Chains A and B, each alone.
Chain A
Amino acid sequence: MEAVLFFLAAIGALGGAVGVVAMRNPFYGVLALIVHLFSLAVLFLLLTSAFVAAAQVVVYAGAVMVLYVFVVAYVGGDTESAWEPIPGQRFLAPLLGTALFIELSIAVLSSSLLALGTHGPDVNPGFGDPAAIGRLLLERFLIPFEASSILLLLAAVGAVVLAGRNREEGTSSEHSAPKARSEEVPSSL
Protein backbone atom coordinates (compact mmCIF):
# COMPACT_ATOMS: atom_id res chain seq x y z
CA MET A 1 0.00 0.00 0.00
CA GLU A 2 2.72 2.40 0.98
CA ALA A 3 4.78 1.52 -2.08
CA VAL A 4 1.80 2.04 -4.40
CA LEU A 5 1.12 5.42 -2.84
CA PHE A 6 4.78 6.36 -3.10
CA PHE A 7 4.99 5.51 -6.78
CA LEU A 8 1.73 7.31 -7.58
CA ALA A 9 2.93 10.44 -5.78
CA ALA A 10 6.36 10.16 -7.37
CA ILE A 11 4.81 9.94 -10.84
CA GLY A 12 2.67 12.97 -10.03
CA ALA A 13 5.65 14.95 -8.75
CA LEU A 14 7.84 14.09 -11.72
CA GLY A 15 5.06 14.67 -14.22
CA GLY A 16 4.35 18.06 -12.68
CA ALA A 17 8.03 18.97 -12.80
CA VAL A 18 8.38 17.95 -16.44
CA GLY A 19 5.15 19.81 -17.21
CA VAL A 20 6.56 23.01 -15.71
CA VAL A 21 9.59 22.76 -17.97
CA ALA A 22 7.80 21.60 -21.10
CA MET A 23 4.63 23.72 -21.16
CA ARG A 24 4.92 26.62 -23.56
CA ASN A 25 2.20 28.67 -21.89
CA PRO A 26 3.26 29.80 -18.36
CA PHE A 27 -0.32 29.43 -17.14
CA TYR A 28 -0.26 25.68 -17.76
CA GLY A 29 3.16 25.62 -16.14
CA VAL A 30 1.66 27.06 -12.96
CA LEU A 31 -1.10 24.42 -13.03
CA ALA A 32 1.52 21.67 -13.47
CA LEU A 33 3.41 23.06 -10.48
CA ILE A 34 0.23 22.79 -8.39
CA VAL A 35 0.01 19.08 -9.29
CA HIS A 36 3.67 18.73 -8.33
CA LEU A 37 3.13 20.42 -4.96
CA PHE A 38 0.15 18.25 -4.07
CA SER A 39 2.13 15.12 -4.91
CA LEU A 40 4.97 16.35 -2.73
CA ALA A 41 2.50 16.87 0.12
CA VAL A 42 1.49 13.20 -0.22
CA LEU A 43 5.17 12.23 -0.06
CA PHE A 44 5.60 14.31 3.08
CA LEU A 45 2.65 12.51 4.63
CA LEU A 46 4.29 9.19 3.78
CA LEU A 47 7.38 10.42 5.60
CA THR A 48 5.19 11.04 8.69
CA SER A 49 5.55 14.80 8.64
CA ALA A 50 1.97 15.96 8.77
CA PHE A 51 2.63 19.59 9.58
CA VAL A 52 5.03 20.12 6.68
CA ALA A 53 2.50 18.51 4.34
CA ALA A 54 -0.26 20.80 5.58
CA ALA A 55 1.96 23.85 5.29
CA GLN A 56 2.92 22.75 1.79
CA VAL A 57 -0.71 22.62 0.70
CA VAL A 58 -1.82 25.78 2.47
CA VAL A 59 1.20 28.01 1.86
CA TYR A 60 2.46 26.76 -1.48
CA ALA A 61 -0.46 25.33 -3.38
CA GLY A 62 -2.75 27.90 -1.81
CA ALA A 63 -1.11 31.27 -1.37
CA VAL A 64 2.00 31.27 -3.54
CA MET A 65 0.29 29.71 -6.53
CA VAL A 66 -2.53 32.27 -6.39
CA LEU A 67 0.16 34.94 -6.58
CA TYR A 68 1.63 33.22 -9.62
CA VAL A 69 -1.74 32.93 -11.31
CA PHE A 70 -2.43 36.63 -10.77
CA VAL A 71 0.93 37.68 -12.16
CA VAL A 72 0.69 35.37 -15.18
CA ALA A 73 -2.77 36.71 -15.90
CA TYR A 74 -1.42 40.26 -15.55
CA VAL A 75 1.65 40.00 -17.76
CA GLY A 76 0.00 37.71 -20.30
CA GLY A 77 0.75 34.25 -21.57
CA ASP A 78 3.25 33.10 -24.16
CA THR A 79 6.01 35.66 -24.13
CA GLU A 80 8.79 33.30 -25.09
CA SER A 81 10.47 34.10 -28.36
CA ALA A 82 11.63 31.44 -30.77
CA TRP A 83 14.96 33.18 -31.13
CA GLU A 84 17.75 31.06 -29.69
CA PRO A 85 20.64 33.20 -28.51
CA ILE A 86 22.98 30.43 -27.41
CA PRO A 87 23.48 27.94 -30.24
CA GLY A 88 22.54 24.41 -29.23
CA GLN A 89 20.82 25.50 -26.00
CA ARG A 90 17.94 23.13 -26.71
CA PHE A 91 20.29 20.16 -26.73
CA LEU A 92 22.88 21.27 -24.20
CA ALA A 93 20.37 21.94 -21.41
CA PRO A 94 18.89 18.38 -21.22
CA LEU A 95 22.42 16.99 -21.48
CA LEU A 96 23.58 19.08 -18.54
CA GLY A 97 20.43 18.23 -16.58
CA THR A 98 21.02 14.51 -17.07
CA ALA A 99 24.65 14.91 -16.08
CA LEU A 100 23.58 16.73 -12.91
CA PHE A 101 21.15 13.95 -12.01
CA ILE A 102 23.77 11.23 -12.53
CA GLU A 103 26.27 13.18 -10.51
CA LEU A 104 23.84 13.74 -7.63
CA SER A 105 22.83 10.08 -7.61
CA ILE A 106 26.43 8.92 -7.56
CA ALA A 107 27.27 11.40 -4.82
CA VAL A 108 24.35 10.35 -2.60
CA LEU A 109 24.08 6.62 -3.22
CA SER A 110 27.76 5.75 -3.28
CA SER A 111 28.58 7.78 -0.22
CA SER A 112 29.16 6.15 3.09
CA LEU A 113 25.59 6.79 4.18
CA LEU A 114 24.81 3.11 4.62
CA ALA A 115 21.79 4.04 6.67
CA LEU A 116 20.09 5.20 3.46
CA GLY A 117 18.79 1.67 2.92
CA THR A 118 16.50 1.79 5.92
CA HIS A 119 12.98 2.92 6.61
CA GLY A 120 14.28 5.01 9.44
CA PRO A 121 13.62 4.18 13.06
CA ASP A 122 10.15 3.44 14.33
CA VAL A 123 8.72 6.68 15.61
CA ASN A 124 5.89 7.39 17.96
CA PRO A 125 2.58 8.59 16.46
CA GLY A 126 3.24 12.19 17.42
CA PHE A 127 6.24 12.48 15.12
CA GLY A 128 5.96 15.58 12.97
CA ASP A 129 2.46 16.55 14.00
CA PRO A 130 1.63 20.24 14.61
CA ALA A 131 2.04 20.01 18.38
CA ALA A 132 5.58 18.66 18.19
CA ILE A 133 6.65 21.04 15.43
CA GLY A 134 5.10 24.00 17.22
CA ARG A 135 6.87 23.14 20.43
CA LEU A 136 10.19 22.91 18.59
CA LEU A 137 9.57 26.18 16.74
CA LEU A 138 8.60 28.20 19.78
CA GLU A 139 11.11 26.75 22.22
CA ARG A 140 14.29 25.59 20.64
CA PHE A 141 14.11 27.49 17.34
CA LEU A 142 12.51 30.70 18.54
CA ILE A 143 15.21 32.98 17.10
CA PRO A 144 15.08 31.49 13.57
CA PHE A 145 11.28 31.73 13.76
CA GLU A 146 11.41 35.44 14.58
CA ALA A 147 14.13 36.02 11.99
CA SER A 148 11.97 34.42 9.31
CA SER A 149 9.06 36.65 10.30
CA ILE A 150 11.32 39.70 9.85
CA LEU A 151 12.38 38.29 6.48
CA LEU A 152 8.74 37.98 5.42
CA LEU A 153 8.06 41.57 6.44
CA LEU A 154 11.09 42.79 4.49
CA ALA A 155 10.02 40.83 1.42
CA ALA A 156 6.52 42.32 1.57
CA VAL A 157 7.93 45.85 1.84
CA GLY A 158 10.37 45.14 -0.98
CA ALA A 159 7.61 43.87 -3.24
CA VAL A 160 5.53 46.98 -2.61
CA VAL A 161 8.52 49.20 -3.37
CA LEU A 162 9.38 47.25 -6.52
CA ALA A 163 5.94 46.82 -8.01
CA GLY A 164 4.28 49.97 -6.74
CA ARG A 165 3.94 52.98 -8.99
CA ASN A 166 6.87 55.38 -8.74
CA ARG A 167 6.05 58.86 -7.56
CA GLU A 168 8.21 60.60 -10.17
CA GLU A 169 6.74 58.47 -12.90
CA GLY A 170 3.24 59.28 -11.78
CA THR A 171 3.51 63.06 -12.06
CA SER A 172 5.58 64.89 -14.62
CA SER A 173 8.02 62.55 -16.30
CA GLU A 174 5.45 59.90 -17.02
CA HIS A 175 5.46 60.66 -20.73
CA SER A 176 9.16 61.23 -21.24
CA ALA A 177 11.13 58.77 -19.12
CA PRO A 178 9.47 55.38 -19.75
CA LYS A 179 9.17 56.06 -23.46
CA ALA A 180 12.85 56.89 -23.77
CA ARG A 181 13.77 53.68 -22.00
CA SER A 182 11.52 51.48 -24.03
CA GLU A 183 13.05 52.87 -27.20
CA GLU A 184 16.56 52.58 -25.95
CA VAL A 185 16.52 48.96 -24.86
CA PRO A 186 15.60 47.16 -28.08
CA SER A 187 18.11 49.21 -30.04
CA SER A 188 20.92 48.10 -27.74
CA LEU A 189 20.40 44.45 -28.57
Chain B
Amino acid sequence: MNVEWYIVLSSLIFAVGAMGLLLRRSPVVILLCLELMLNAGNLALVAFSRMVGNQQGQIFAIVVMVVAACEVVVGLGLIVAIFRRKLPLDVDALRELRG
Protein backbone atom coordinates (compact mmCIF):
# COMPACT_ATOMS: atom_id res chain seq x y z
CA MET B 1 0.00 0.00 0.00
CA ASN B 2 1.18 3.48 -0.77
CA VAL B 3 2.05 5.78 2.06
CA GLU B 4 -0.58 8.32 1.07
CA TRP B 5 -3.35 5.91 2.09
CA TYR B 6 -1.94 5.81 5.61
CA ILE B 7 -1.66 9.58 5.69
CA VAL B 8 -5.26 10.07 4.53
CA LEU B 9 -6.46 7.55 7.12
CA SER B 10 -4.46 9.35 9.78
CA SER B 11 -5.97 12.73 8.91
CA LEU B 12 -9.44 11.15 8.89
CA ILE B 13 -8.93 9.75 12.39
CA PHE B 14 -7.56 13.10 13.53
CA ALA B 15 -10.63 14.90 12.17
CA VAL B 16 -12.97 12.42 13.88
CA GLY B 17 -11.12 12.98 17.16
CA ALA B 18 -11.33 16.75 16.81
CA MET B 19 -15.02 16.47 16.02
CA GLY B 20 -15.59 14.44 19.17
CA LEU B 21 -13.64 17.00 21.16
CA LEU B 22 -16.00 19.72 19.94
CA LEU B 23 -19.13 17.63 20.28
CA ARG B 24 -18.94 15.83 23.60
CA ARG B 25 -19.12 17.29 27.08
CA SER B 26 -18.10 14.45 29.37
CA PRO B 27 -14.43 14.82 30.42
CA VAL B 28 -13.79 11.08 30.06
CA VAL B 29 -14.95 11.10 26.45
CA ILE B 30 -12.88 14.21 25.77
CA LEU B 31 -9.79 12.36 27.02
CA LEU B 32 -10.70 9.43 24.73
CA CYS B 33 -10.91 11.81 21.77
CA LEU B 34 -7.50 13.22 22.70
CA GLU B 35 -6.20 9.65 22.51
CA LEU B 36 -7.67 9.35 19.03
CA MET B 37 -5.86 12.48 17.88
CA LEU B 38 -2.53 11.40 19.39
CA ASN B 39 -2.86 8.00 17.73
CA ALA B 40 -3.54 9.65 14.39
CA GLY B 41 -0.29 11.56 14.84
CA ASN B 42 1.47 8.30 15.70
CA LEU B 43 0.18 6.64 12.55
CA ALA B 44 1.45 9.51 10.42
CA LEU B 45 4.84 9.36 12.14
CA VAL B 46 5.24 5.63 11.56
CA ALA B 47 4.04 5.92 7.96
CA PHE B 48 6.55 8.66 7.20
CA SER B 49 9.27 6.67 8.93
CA ARG B 50 8.50 3.74 6.62
CA MET B 51 8.48 6.07 3.61
CA VAL B 52 11.91 7.44 4.39
CA GLY B 53 13.24 4.05 5.44
CA ASN B 54 14.54 5.41 8.72
CA GLN B 55 13.64 4.08 12.16
CA GLN B 56 13.94 7.37 14.04
CA GLY B 57 10.31 8.24 13.40
CA GLN B 58 9.33 5.13 15.36
CA ILE B 59 11.33 6.40 18.33
CA PHE B 60 9.32 9.59 18.08
CA ALA B 61 6.11 7.56 18.06
CA ILE B 62 7.19 5.75 21.22
CA VAL B 63 7.90 9.08 22.93
CA VAL B 64 4.43 10.28 21.87
CA MET B 65 3.03 7.13 23.49
CA VAL B 66 4.83 7.97 26.75
CA VAL B 67 3.48 11.52 26.69
CA ALA B 68 -0.02 10.20 26.00
CA ALA B 69 0.23 7.83 28.97
CA CYS B 70 1.28 10.74 31.22
CA GLU B 71 -1.58 12.87 29.93
CA VAL B 72 -4.05 10.07 30.62
CA VAL B 73 -2.78 9.58 34.15
CA VAL B 74 -3.01 13.27 35.03
CA GLY B 75 -6.36 13.71 33.28
CA LEU B 76 -7.95 10.73 34.99
CA GLY B 77 -6.55 11.96 38.31
CA LEU B 78 -8.28 15.28 37.68
CA ILE B 79 -11.53 13.50 36.85
CA VAL B 80 -11.36 11.46 40.05
CA ALA B 81 -10.64 14.63 42.03
CA ILE B 82 -13.60 16.42 40.42
CA PHE B 83 -15.84 13.45 41.16
CA ARG B 84 -14.73 13.33 44.80
CA ARG B 85 -15.67 16.96 45.35
CA LYS B 86 -19.13 16.15 44.03
CA LEU B 87 -18.83 18.66 41.21
CA PRO B 88 -20.71 17.92 38.00
CA LEU B 89 -18.68 15.93 35.43
CA ASP B 90 -19.53 18.26 32.58
CA VAL B 91 -17.01 20.59 30.98
CA ASP B 92 -19.64 23.24 30.40
CA ALA B 93 -20.63 23.31 34.05
CA LEU B 94 -17.04 23.59 35.26
CA ARG B 95 -16.36 27.12 34.11
CA GLU B 96 -15.03 28.92 37.12
CA LEU B 97 -11.81 29.77 35.30
CA ARG B 98 -13.60 31.19 32.30
CA GLY B 99 -13.45 34.80 33.48
Residues from chain B with a CB closer than 8 A to the CB of A100 are 14-15, 18-19
* Interface residue? A8 (CB, 8 A): no
* Distance in Å: Cβ of B62 to nearest Cβ of chain A: 6
A-B contact count (CB 8 A): 255
Within 8 A of B (CB), among A114-165: 115-121, 123, 127-128, 132-133, 136-137, 140-141, 144, 148, 151-152, 154-156, 158-163, 165
A60-B80 Cα distance, complex, nearest whole Å: 20
A178-B86 Cα distance, complex, nearest whole Å: 8
C-beta contact mask, B15-43 vs A, less than 8 Å → 1, else 0?
11111101111101101110110010011
Residues from chain A with a CB closer than 8 A to the CB of B25 are 80-81
A63-B69 Cα distance, complex, nearest whole Å: 9
Residues from chain B with a CB closer than 8 A to the CB of A44 are 43, 46
* Distance in Å: Cβ of B1 to nearest Cβ of chain A: 5
One of B15, B39, B55 near A136 (C-beta < 8 A): B55
Interface magnitude class on chain B: 35 or more
Supposing A21-B19, A30-B32 touch, asked if A64 and B58 sit within 8 A by C-beta, the answer is no
Supposing A79-B89, A148-B63 touch, asked if A17 and B13 sit within 8 A by C-beta, the answer is yes
One of A14, A64, A71, A133 near B9 (C-beta < 8 A): A14
What is the total number of residues of chain A having a CB less than 8 Å from a CB of chain B? 93
Do residues B2 and A117 form an inter-chain contact, with CB atoms below 8 A?
A: yes
C-beta contact mask, B70-82 vs A, less than 8 Å → 1, else 0?
1111101111110
Residues from chain B with a CB closer than 8 A to the CB of A55 are 62, 65
Q: Is the interface of B mostly helix, strand, loop or mixed?
A: helix
Residues from chain A with a CB closer than 8 A to the CB of B66 are 148, 151-152
Binding site for B on A (CB under 8 A): 2-3, 6, 10, 13-14, 17-18, 20-21, 26, 29-30, 33, 36-37, 40, 43-44, 46-49, 51-52, 55-56, 59-60, 63-64, 67-68, 71-72, 74-75, 79-81, 83, 85, 89-90, 92-94, 96-98, 100-101, 104-105, 108-109, 115-121, 123, 127-128, 132-133, 136-137, 140-141, 144, 148, 151-152, 154-156, 158-163, 165, 178, 181-182, 185-186, 188-189
Binding site for A on B (CB under 8 A): 1-9, 11-20, 22-26, 28-29, 31-33, 35-36, 39, 42-43, 46-47, 49-53, 55-56, 58-59, 61-63, 65-74, 76-81, 83-90, 92-94, 96
For the complex of A and B, list the 5 residue pairs with the smallest distance between their C-beta atoms, beginning with the closest: A97-B19, A101-B15, A21-B20, A155-B70, A162-B77
